């Protein structure tokens, strides 16, 4: 379980998050929704320690994550797939995965085999430079690279960005399947609210750094005001 407790973040004079509090339940997908500039990416970066909050704290179960270095937070079991995927284009697919696997004690061959089973296209392209992959394949590689470390929490930042609707749908199905089969806790940041709400159990809606809704995903999806004013979901 991830608990965000009254977190505020500022970039100079600009407040990116203002007193944000919510919980992401173990083994469930929590969607974090909102328009550009709502603070979604900052929220994930704060959880993984890339950004230090001005006040408040982030907890994983009983362990305080705030104040720890990113490397230690990742080693404690928080995987983060950043916006733009963060695939190292100069490395091959397998080198990217080997890098991700360095903090796991599992045998490398076994860990790689599992990722190739979940994402077969990566197995086919294992010797290719990541720069040659399509957008969808890069997203799969970024997810596989985070998953190969065996995290208990996965932070996904805009995984559908720049992907075709069919690829997005496939990706979301994969996230839902992984969550169901492994008990992974997922915090999914998305602008594509419709796709995210389809697989999430819970949804948090951010607007200008504040939480304006925190409810079951189905309830958020049914709320006309939220849909219209905060999520841009026009029928």
Partner 1 sequence: MSALLTSRNVADVLSGVTNGVIYSLVALSLVLVWRSTRILNFAQGAMAMMATYIGFALLAPSTNYWVSMAVAIVAGMAIGGATERVIVRALYGKPEINPVVAMVGFLLVLESVAAAIWSTSSRGLPTPFSMVDWQLNHKPVAMSPFALYEIITAVAVMTVIAVLFEYTKLGLRLRAAAIAPEVSRLLGVRVGRMLTLGWMLSSGVGAITAVLVASNYFTGLTPTAMDGVFAFGFIAAAIGGLDSPVGALVSGVAMGVILQFVGDYLNSNAIILVALGMLVVSLMVRPNGVFTTARQRRV
- The minimum distance between CB 207 and partner 1, in angstroms, equals 27
> Tokens 């839902």, residue?
176
Q: Please report, as ranges, the residues that interact with partner 1 according to CB under 8 A.
A: 48, 50, 69-71, 74-75, 79-80, 82, 86, 88-91, 95, 98-100, 102-103, 129, 131, 145-146, 149
- The minimum distance between CB 97 and partner 1, in angstroms, equals 10
For partner 1, the closer CB: 151 or 221: 151
Q: d(Cα 66, Cα 69) in Å, to the nearest integer?
A: 8
For partner 1, the closer CB: 59 or 91: 91
CA distances from 43 to 2, 90, 208 (A): 12, 29, 12
**Under DSSP, is residue 44 helix (H, G, I), strand (E, B) or coil?**
helix
- The minimum distance between CB 227 and partner 1, in angstroms, equals 32
Total number of residues shown for the chain: 235
Q: Of 88, 200, 193, 194, whose CA–CA distance to 145 is shortest?
A: 88
- The minimum distance between CB 100 and partner 1, in angstroms, equals 5
For partner 1, the closer CB: 32 or 211: 32
CA distances from 132 to 87, 135, 146, 165 (A): 11, 10, 20, 21
Half-sphere exposure of 158 (CA within 13 A, CB side): 19
- The minimum distance between CB 104 and partner 1, in angstroms, equals 9
- The minimum distance between CB 105 and partner 1, in angstroms, equals 12
For partner 1, the closer CB: 74 or 179: 74
Q: d(Cα 116, Cα 139) in Å, to the nearest integer?
A: 14
For partner 1, the closer CB: 143 or 231: 143
CB-neighbour burial class of residue 99 (10 A; exposed 0-12, middle 13-18, buried 19+)? middle
For partner 1, the closer CB: 31 or 149: 149
């Amino acid at each position: 379980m991830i608990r965000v407790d009254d977190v505020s973040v500022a970039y100079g004079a600009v407040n990116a998050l203002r007193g944000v509090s919510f919980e992401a339940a173990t083994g469930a997908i929590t969607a974090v929704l909102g328009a550009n500039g709502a603070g979604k990416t900052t929220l994930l970066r704060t959880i993984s320690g890339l950004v230090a909050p001005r006040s408040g704290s982030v907890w994983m179960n009983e362990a305080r994550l705030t104040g720890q270095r990113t490397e230690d937070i990742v080693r404690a079991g928080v995987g983060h797939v950043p916006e733009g995927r963060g695939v190292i284009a100069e490395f091959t697919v397998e080198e990217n995965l080997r890098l991700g696997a360095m903090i796991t004690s599992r045998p490398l061959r076994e860990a790689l085999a599992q990722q190739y089973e979940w994402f077969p296209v990566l197995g086919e392209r294992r010797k290719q430079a990541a720069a040659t992959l399509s957008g969808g394949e890069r997203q799969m590689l970024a997810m596989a690279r985070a998953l190969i470390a065996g995290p208990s929490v996965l932070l996904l930042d805009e995984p559908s960005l720049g992907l075709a609707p069919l690829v997005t749908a496939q990706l979301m199905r994969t996230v839902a399947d992984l969550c169901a089969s492994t008990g992974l806790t997922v915090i999914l940041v998305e602008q594509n609210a419709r796709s995210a709400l389809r697989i999430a159990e819970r949804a948090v809606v951010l607007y200008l750094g504040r939480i304006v809704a925190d409810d079951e995903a189905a309830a958020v999806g049914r709320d006309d005001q939220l849909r219209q004013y905060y999520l841009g979901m026009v029928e």
